[in-house]
Each structure stands twice: as C-alpha cells, then as structure tokens.
Amino acid sequence: MRILITDDHQLFADGLRSALEDLQDGLSCVVALSAEVALDILGNDTAFDLFVVDLNLPGIDGVSLLKSLSRRCPEIPVVVISATESIDQIKSALDQGARGFIPKAYDRVEIQRGLSVVLEGGLFLPDDIVDKIQRIEQSQSSFPTLPGNITSHGITKRQFEVLEYVAKGFSNKQIANTLFLTEHTIKVHLKALFKALGVSNRTQLSQVAKEKGIIA
C-alpha cells in the first residue's frame, strides 16, 4: 500500500509518515511539501491507495488540491489532516470528496485510528465537527413543513430528506444522485442522524425513526 502525504511542515509530515508506516507491513509513504509538488508527482505516478492532505498549504490551497485530485484520481480516497478550525473549510473538503477530517491536534494513536477507518472504506469525523456542521445547517434551514417531533431531535430539513430515502431502501449513491449531493455528504448526514437517534446502523435508524413517529 502506498500513501501520498501533502503537508508543508516537514517535521509533521515525517512524523505522520512514521505513524502510517507502523499501521501495516509493506505500507510506504511519499511526502510532498506543497500541492504543486503533489500534482507533479501524480503527473508521473498515480499508483497510490490513499491521499492525505493538509488544507492550509502555500500556493495552491488544500481545497483546490482536493478538486484536482477528484478529477485526476476519483477512485483514490482522500483524508484531510489539518489544524484548521474553519467549519466552512472542512465542509468544502467533504463536498470535494474527502473521506474524513482528522485534527492535527490528535495524538499518534488517534490519527492511526482515523486513518484505519478511512482505509477500511468508512468516513471519519470527530463528533464535535459533526455537531458544528449540524448546527450550521440548522441555522441555515427553515422548518415550516417539519413538525416539532422531528425538529426536537435536532434533525435538519436535509437530514430528514436523507432519512426518508434511507427508509425507502435507497443506497448512499442513490440518495446522493437524487439530492444532487456527494456520497460523502450523505455519510456526514447519516452520522449526524445516527447520533441524534442513538443508533449505529441504517436498519436501526429506520426502525427508531418509525417508533418515534419521525417517519411513517
């Protein structure tokens, strides 16, 4: 397995490479200290299994790099490891297809845990980031058609739409296509719904939502 790390801090990049290479035998990392260098590398070599990107990069910023990566190598997952506290930046990264966000403040074990989730095909987001995204959506949404038994659980209008499609048996891809969102955004909404209703999977989500009268 090969991973391309794009981070302009050499010390952090070297430490991250060490942490990643400890995850499994045969894993190797290539470090690019700017988005420009990363794109140059990919001009000659795209044999990577994961991209790790910082958002605060000199020159081409991290979100712009994510856009380029999604065009060049859409099949390769990307995870953001950054010190940014900007929810707008994090949401933009997720909208560009990032499979997760891991704060740089995390220790080695926490970073390895987050990366393992992404490498196994999951989405990794700290709970506080999910909460902040949810609060932003609530502040931006109006609920004229949603009764109190729905909004009382902290469910946004968009999350309610996702919930309805989950109950109908739609896959994440089908929901994304229907709502004109990315699959990764759907996963963010699902994670928020799981937390709001105290469940851990889609089946439980539909069942509990029906029991509470949130959906028919």
Over the stretch 79-106, which tens digit does the pLDDT of each residue have?
999 999 888 899 889 888 898 999 999 9
Same domain, 12 and 117: yes
Q: Provide the pLDDT for residue 137.
A: 65
Give the pLDDT mean for 4-29. Answer: 91
Q: Using CA atoms, how far apart are residues 50 and 147, in angstroms rounded to an integer?
A: 43
Q: Provide the pLDDT for residue 142.
A: 47
Same domain, 77 and 153: no
Q: Which tens digits make up the pLDDT trace of 63-81?
A: 999 999 988 998 899 999 9
Same domain, 14 and 98: yes
Same domain, 135 and 201: yes
Q: Calculate the average pLDDT of the chain.
A: 88
Same domain, 204 and 157: yes
137, 119 in Cβ contact below 8 A? no
| Range name among 42-51, 117-126, 196-205 with the lowest pLDDT average | 117-126
Does residue 216 fall inside a structural domain?
Answer: no
Q: Provide the pLDDT for residue 143.
A: 46
Give the pLDDT mean for 9-24. Answer: 90
Same domain, 97 and 114: yes
Domain end among 77, 105, 124: 124
CATH assignment at residue 101: 3.40.50.2300
For 5, the enclosing helix (H) or strand (E) is: strand 2-6
Q: Provide the pLDDT for residue 144.
A: 46
Does residue 192 fall inside a structural domain?
Answer: yes
Same domain, 75 and 162: no
Does residue 111 fall inside a structural domain?
Answer: yes
**Residue of higher predicted confidence among 54 and 173:** 54
Same domain, 54 and 160: no
Q: Using CA atoms, how far apart are residues 129 and 127, in angstroms rounded to an integer?
A: 5
Q: Which tens digits make up the pLDDT trace of 132-180?
A: 877 776 655 544 455 556 767 778 888 888 999 999 999 998 988 788 6
Structural domains in the chain (count) = 2
Same domain, 106 and 83: yes
One DSSP character per residue, 196-208 reads: HHT-SSHHHHHHH
CA nearest to 188, candidates 75, 90, 115: 90
Three-class SS of residue 51?
Answer: strand
The range of the structural domain enclosing residue 171 comes to: 128-211
Q: What is the pTM of this model?
A: 0.69
Same domain, 63 and 158: no
Same domain, 91 and 104: yes
CATH assignment at residue 159: 1.10.10.10
- Per-residue pLDDT band for 40 (boundaries 50, 70, 90) equals very high
Does residue 15 fall inside a structural domain?
Answer: yes
Same domain, 154 and 198: yes
Q: Provide the pLDDT for residue 145.
A: 54
